[in-house]
Amino acid sequence: MTADLIDGKAFAATLRARIAGQVAALKADHGITPGLAVVLVGEDPASSVYVRSKGKATAEVGMRGFAHRLPAGTPQQELLDLIARLNADEAVNGILVQLPLPRHMDEAAVINAIAPEKDVDGFTVLNAGRLATGQKAMVPCTPLGCLMLLRDRLGSVSGKDALVIGRSNIVGKPMAQLLLADSATVTVAHSRTRGLPDLCRRADIVVAAVGRARFVQGDWIKPGATVIDVGINRTDDGLTGDVDFAAAREVAGAITPVPGGVGPMTIACLLANTLTATARVHGLSDPEGLTP
């Protein structure tokens, strides 16, 4: 059996077109244009690429983008002052501080300075806590994108055995919370997990967010399982996921490629979150199909 490809690129393009339509309607009906502020500290080349593509994506759906670039040596207080200004700025509905931050900064303190209603990355403790307790939250973009792909493929994940490999605050933990909220039976594996191949062989859904090229082997996959590969690893052969794609594809029912799977969903979900944040701050109902 050869698995179906889950085309995240095509799904994300459809999602962005839908968001562009919703943004246009928001402008026409209420005179509101969503605005996203992206803050980059330092000159990390990968981060610069992400920030540029976020700016471009914002413009493409008709939102306003505000880019703030600060030198690597910026004192933390200056960044906090900028965040305070963005929190107070009515033209700004979403604030994203590109991670990682330079070492002299306290990442948690910076992230938690973002007003929760503008926290389009969903990384503040308040939004993480809301997600964990089943309250309306801003949900981290990458796991939200994975959930959308899973629902599209499976209809419902209810009752399914889901294995999330990785426990980061950015991907693994919120992914597990989203699957749990959708009534999957969730296992979270991490660097100290024993017997990972056998855990994986039981899973109807595998979400790999490890950061190690081709880490998940083809013979760990349950026949027919749905495999979501979050990993982005730069290798001599180019970009590679956390799953041995060629081998897993022979066993799985459906699998995301890298590139072209989860990656494009992340930016689309950032736009989705910005639109959701805009609607909420104006007391409007959540836009259709963009929240978990």
Q: Which of 22, 119, 121, 229 is catalytic?
A: 121
* C-beta closer to ligand NAD: residue 62 or 211: 211
With CB under 6 A as the contact rule, the residue among 9, 64, 153, 167 that binds ligand NAD is 167
With CB under 6 A as the contact rule, the residue among 172, 174, 257, 287 that binds ligand NAD is 172
Assess 209 for contact with ligand NAD (CB under 6 A). Answer: yes
Strands 64-70 and 35-41: parallel
| Residue 98 among the catalytic residues | yes
Q: How far is the CB of 227 from ligand NAD (least distance, A)?
A: 14
With CB under 6 A as the contact rule, the residue among 27, 104, 151, 190 that binds ligand NAD is 190
Q: φ and ψ at 216, to 5 degrees?
A: -85, 120
SS3 annotation, 144-161: HHHHHHHHHHHCCCCCCE
Handedness of CA 259, 111, 104, 39 (dihedral sign): positive
Peptide bond before 34: cis, by omega within 30 degrees of 0?
no
Q: Is 181 helix (H, G, I), strand (E, B) or coil?
A: helix
Q: Which of 22, 54, 222, 244 is catalytic?
A: 54
Assess 263 for contact with ligand NAD (CB under 6 A). Answer: yes
Assess 140 for contact with ligand NAD (CB under 6 A). Answer: no
User: Among 8, 53, 21, which Cα is nearest to 272's?
Assistant: 21
Cβ pair 263, 232 in contact under 8 A: yes
Write the CB contacts of 286 (distance below 8 Å, at least 6 apart in sequence): 276, 279, 280
Q: How far is the CB of 98 from ligand NAD (least distance, A)?
A: 12
Cβ pair 208, 228 in contact under 8 A: yes
Assess 171 for contact with ligand NAD (CB under 6 A). Answer: yes
Closest residue to ligand NAD: CB criterion: 168
Distance of alpha carbon 96 from alpha carbon 68, whole angstroms: 10
| Residue 119 among the catalytic residues | no
* C-beta closer to ligand NAD: residue 15 or 26: 15
Choices 20-28, 106-114, 122-130, 169-177; region in contact with ligand NAD by CB under 6 A: 169-177
With CB under 6 A as the contact rule, the residue among 266, 274, 276, 278 that binds ligand NAD is 266
User: Among 126, 207, 133, which Cα is nearest to 163's?
Assistant: 207
Size of the site for ligand NAD (CB under 6 A): 23
Residues involved in catalysis: 54, 98, 121
Residues that bind ligand NAD in the complex, under the rule CB under 6 A: 142, 165-168, 170-172, 189-191, 193, 196, 209-211, 230-233, 262-263, 266
